[in-house]
Structure 1
Amino acid sequence: MLRLSCFLSLATALPAVAQSPLFGWPVDCNLDQTCYVQNLVDHDPGPGTADFRCGAQGYDGHKGTDIALPDLRAQAAGVSVLAAAPGTVRAVRDDMPDILQGQPGAPDTTGRECGNGVVIRHGGGWESQYCHMALGSITVQPGDRVAMGQPFGRIGLSGQSEFPHLHFELRRDGARVDPFDPDSDESCTLDPEDTLWLTPADPAAGGLIAVGFSTDVPDYSAVKAGTADRSLAADAPIVLWGYAFATRPGDILQIVIDGPDGRVHLHEETLERAQAQMFRASGRRAPAGGWAPGTYSGTVTHLRGAQVLGQMTVQSDLP
């Protein structure tokens, strides 16, 4: 197998041309429903970070689009990686363990940051790269032809990865190209019709990954694993948690719990720092005599000024 490298030398993006290919979504998921964009291409040539909106959704030197799954449970269920355009497989690696960085047994990824992955040539100097795939899931070899939308593996945890996602990268003649802003025109806005996506896509600039009820404040590891939900009990606290991404200083996270007799709890917090991912939980202890039976509804809202970046509601019945 040919050796794969996720991090090439940073090059200035080439302008998009009239005959640029269009690319399909490279993950079998629904954007901002069953997956979300965690990190975007960094357009800042210096030590700072600037995505195509002139925001900071990513990190310094990031050359691709990170399409993330909500939790480890979704990854374990299996989510297919799809060829974004027809082409010929140039390189494959499929020998690295599925262990997130920071976890026991995580390997040294120096020079192998991409983990298990595939590079596909599309002609005209264009190629796409797919990183952090699941060990043993890749079904193509160098020289194979692939069609647009063809599944050839699954999202995994391999390489320099701290959450389940696909790092998708486009290059033309070796220079990175942002599919959301192929001309790098610094307009700080998105024109869905002037991207390289076959179906226009407008990723959220932050929002909620998941929400749930519990009877105490859950461990963050359980939130990330997708196992933090708990059934309500009449004599236990009612806690609502929210798992958010791409937060910025000044964002507001609002946690509201309503019960069969009206409002149970309201918590609103102004966030003090930028975080790629974070969670908050808030609730109330059971009153004397316990909670009334009925349906309890919890809503978490992520606000940036007057803009609602994300809102999720969950319900639980207490017999």
Structure 2
Amino acid sequence: MSVRSILAALSMFPVLAGAASALELRLPADCSLGKDCFLQQFPDMKKGEGAVDPYCGIATYDDHDGVDLRILSMQDIGRGVPVVAAADGVVLRGRDGMEDQLIVTAAERKAITPQACGNGVVMSHADGVETQYCHLRKGSIVVRRGQKLKAGDKIGEIGASGLVQFPHVHLSVRVNGKEIDPVTGNEVGTSCVVDPADAKPLFASSVVAAIKPDQPTVLGFGLSGSVIEYDDLVMKGPPETAKPGDRLKIALTGPDGEAVAENTTEPVDRSKAVYFSYAGKKGSPKPGTYTLDVAVIRKGAPLLSESKTITVE
């Protein structure tokens, strides 16, 4: 192996807080939030042109009506991450059979828009609540119309069917026919909340607690045998969810404690959904255990850091 490169990516999300509603929704996938799945986008709370997320931030896009829970890449679809019922209820309808593929061109987008949800399921719950699960993996849906489910029962698996730019499950919530943001309890397209204490989320407190205030997330990092190209990541998302000025630092330490490679990016010039960098050194690495450190720098100080050891044989 002639080249070793290091990859890291980050994404940012707003704080969620407040009291839960009478009907509590669990996470719509059987995964660990912030570890192997990530909240990428929220509903657009602004009517008309422009987009504002539930807490008056930028983690959304125009006319988005739900919450997107993502996995890292198309390869992760193969792990079979279960999509599960967010609450007790009954299956109303569903669709399967659409391919998992990322939409890139305008022509692809136009063609897929009539079936934007892709493979999906709609459920009915108590108190006039409906939940809809979109973009499921082809052939993964295991429920049928009229079937009763308990919260946490498997519906299918996270995929990339329909109108998608990254693999995820899109959760929409409707109460008496109105689209509701599950993180604040407000009707979609009406208003955001400046103070998180004013929110009354439908999500359970355990989901709310897993969201860290104004905290970036390191989606992943490791070693590669060649220079990383952005398109190889297959981790695209909405614009404007990373803060300007943030920097990403990567350092690789060799088996003898010597610095092998290090890179600190220039400050992010604008808000971004996903940001990545790499550092590398030509030549074959000698066998041994390497330490890889990644840090997000904000205002000159580390905001978060992660580390792992990797053995080269």
Same fold (TM over 0.5): yes
* Correspondent of 2:272 among 275, 278, 284: 275
Q: What residue is the counterpart of 1:161 in the other structure? A: 164
Contact 1:256–1:299 (Cα < 8 Å) also in 2: yes
Q: How far did 1:81 drift?
A: 0.7
Q: Distance in 1 between matches of 2:241 and 2:58?
A: 8
In the superposition, relative to structure 1, how do residues 304 and 109 fare at CA in structure 2: closer, same or farther (>3 Å)? Answer: farther
CA distance in 2, matches of 1:120, 1:36: 23
Query: Among residues 247, 251, 254, which one is paired with 1:256 in the alignment?
Result: 251
**Preserved contact between residue 207 and residue 302 of structure 1 (Cα < 8 Å):** no
Paired residue for 1:218, among 212, 215, 228?
228
1:116 aligned to which of 116, 119, 126: 119
Instruction: Name the structure, 1 or 2, with higher relative contact order (CA <8 Å, separation 6+).
Output: 2
Q: Which has the higher helix share?
A: 2
How far apart are the structure 2 equivalents of 1:140 and 1:298? Answer: 43
Instruction: Name 1:197's counterpart in structure 2.
Output: 203
Q: Aligned-residue CA RMSD in angstroms?
A: 3.0
CA change 1:143–1:212 in 2 (3 A) is same
Give the alignment of 1:1-319 within 5 angstroms: 20-102=22-104, 108-183=111-186, 186-191=192-197, 194-198=200-204, 199-201=206-208, 202-204=210-212, 205-224=215-234, 246-259=241-254, 260-269=256-265, 270-286=267-283, 294-305=288-299, 311-318=305-312
| Structure 1 length-normalised TM | 0.77
Shift of residue 114, structure 1, vs aligned partner: 0.4
Give the whole-Å Cα distance in 2 for the aligned partners of 1:136 and 1:261: 49
Determine what percentage of the aligned residue pairs are the same residue.
31
TM-score normalised by length of structure 2: 0.79
User: Structure 1: which 5+ residue stretches go unaligned?
Assistant: 1-15, 226-244
Aligned residue type for 2:99: P
Q: What are the Cα deviations for residues 88-117 of structure 1, in whole angstroms up to 9, with x where unaligned?
A: 2122111311222128x9682122100010
Cα deviations across residues 191-236 of structure 1 (Å, max 9, x unaligned)? 59942222242435532211011243123344338xxxxxxxxxxx
How far apart are 1:19 and its partner, in Å? 6.3
Change (3 A) 1:292 1:17: closer
The answer on whether the counterparts of 2:27 and 2:207 sit within 8 Å (CA) in structure 1 is no
Equivalent position amino acid for 2:51 in 1: T
